[in-house]
């Protein structure tokens, strides 16, 4: 598989409970991992977050974040920034390279992003947020005349409690032409601590007439099904849950269709490790590829009894042969360990 620009018609974005998406995760949701998730039931995916300005100032690594291929569809390109002009230029630039759908990140709580006025900081400047979204919607329609490019916005509740800015700005974003919203129902000041407020997602669903994708604390297919029932969201977007088990997408579909899948076994995870390794080797020939497997394999093995020593060894693996040895050893790990909620960080 060779990364390339997309130059084929893009499938429509699915908004449905049984069409789960893969969330953008910096350092994780690269092309190889997106393809692994797609093979396991992922209905749509979002690229890692890309700086709108970085596209024009030669930011190192920006082009790598946008690696894709025709099979990597439907795909949404996510950008961040704080200036309408650069956001619009970014959409034109991305559209010229084959991207059809775009997302704007107004929910990232990372200090280096927020300090620039971008990410979740825009929730304290809703007028600017709406202006950026409107500029992106206009640019998308001009860049793709005759098509139906969609623009979404990722939100958090607000910057700090108690004011839920999302409930005020959500309808304004819909009026600006945004096609969907994704809500991670925590305040930016919380980071990833505490619990997601699914009731806020339900309130946003009622406040807007566009699809709302639910995010936050979706660790299992059962979590996602409960979230969908509680919120009435159009669909869900898996993040850390997919990192632990990329088959979580198929598990949700099976659960909603009344055919729940059995928990993963050692042989299941061994096959997953081998497939992920093959995808990484096909898409990233740099040393980064092996480093990514060092972090991925321990996550896959965590739900298997007796895997502690193997997980520790994988953190120091030095070759692809070490990855294969881990897969062989994983084949013998069949008993599932009880899940430890204290290990959860979404």
Could you give the residue numbers annotated as active site?
108
Bridge partners of residue 78, in order along the sequence: 103
Of 39, 92, 38, 29, nearest to 66 (Cα)? 29
Distance CA 220, CA 208 (A): 27
- On whether the CB atoms of residues 276 and 330 are closer than 8 A, the answer is no
Token representation of residue 46: 């979002």
- Closest alpha carbon to 186 in 206, 164, 170, 208: 164
Two structure tokens written together for 99: 């991207």
d(CA 276, CA 26): 18
- Please state, as a whole number, how many other Cβ atoms lie within 10 Å of the Cβ of residue 209: 9
Taking the alpha carbons of 183, 187, 190, 193 in that order, is the dihedral positive or negative?
negative
How many CA atoms, within 13 angstroms, populate the side-chain half-sphere of residue 22?
Answer: 39
Neighbours of 191 (CB within 10 A): 12
Q: Which two tokens stand for residue 41?
A: 């039931």
């Amino acid at each position: 598989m060779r990364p390339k620009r997309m130059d084929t018609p893009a499938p429509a974005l699915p908004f449905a409970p049984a069409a789960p998406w893969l969330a953008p995760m910096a350092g994780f949701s690269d092309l190889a991992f997106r393809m692994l998730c797609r093979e396991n039931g992922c209905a749509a995916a979002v690229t890692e977050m890309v700086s709108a300005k970085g596209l024009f100032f030669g930011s190192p690594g920006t082009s790598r974040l946008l690696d894709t291929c025709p099979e990597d569809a439907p795909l949404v390109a996510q950008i961040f920034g704080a200036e309408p002009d650069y956001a619009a230029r970014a959409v034109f630039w991305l559209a010229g390279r084959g991207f059809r759908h775009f997302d704007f990140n107004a929910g990232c709580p990372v200090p280096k992003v927020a300090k620039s006025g971008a990410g979740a900081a825009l929730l304290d400047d809703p007028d600017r947020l709406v202006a950026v979204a409107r500029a992106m919607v206009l640019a998308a329609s001009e860049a793709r005349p005759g098509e139906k490019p969609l623009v979404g916005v990722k939100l958090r509740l607000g910057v700090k409690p108690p004011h839920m800015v999302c409930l005020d700005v959500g309808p304004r974003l819909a009026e600006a032409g945004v096609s969907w919203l994704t809500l991670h129902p925590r305040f930016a000041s919380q980071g990833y601590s505490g619990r997601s407020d699914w009731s806020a997602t339900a309130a946003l669903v009622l406040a807007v007439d566009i699809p709302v994708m639910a995010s936050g604390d979706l660790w299992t297919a059962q979590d996602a099904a409960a979230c969908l029932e509680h919120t009435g969201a159009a669909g869900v977007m898996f993040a850390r849950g997919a990192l632990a088990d990329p088959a979580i997408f198929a598990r949700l579909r099976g659960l909603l269709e009344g055919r729940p899948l059995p928990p993963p076994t050692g042989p299941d995870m061994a096959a997953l490790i081998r497939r992920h390794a093959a995808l990484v080797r096909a898409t990233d020939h740099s040393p980064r590829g092996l480093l990514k497997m060092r972090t991925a394999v321990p996550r896959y093995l965590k739900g298997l009894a007796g895997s502690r020593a193997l997980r520790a060894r994988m953190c120091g693996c030095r070759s692809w042969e070490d990855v294969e040895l881990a897969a062989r050893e994983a084949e013998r790990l069949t008993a599932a360990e009880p899940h430890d909620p204290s290990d959860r960080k979404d």
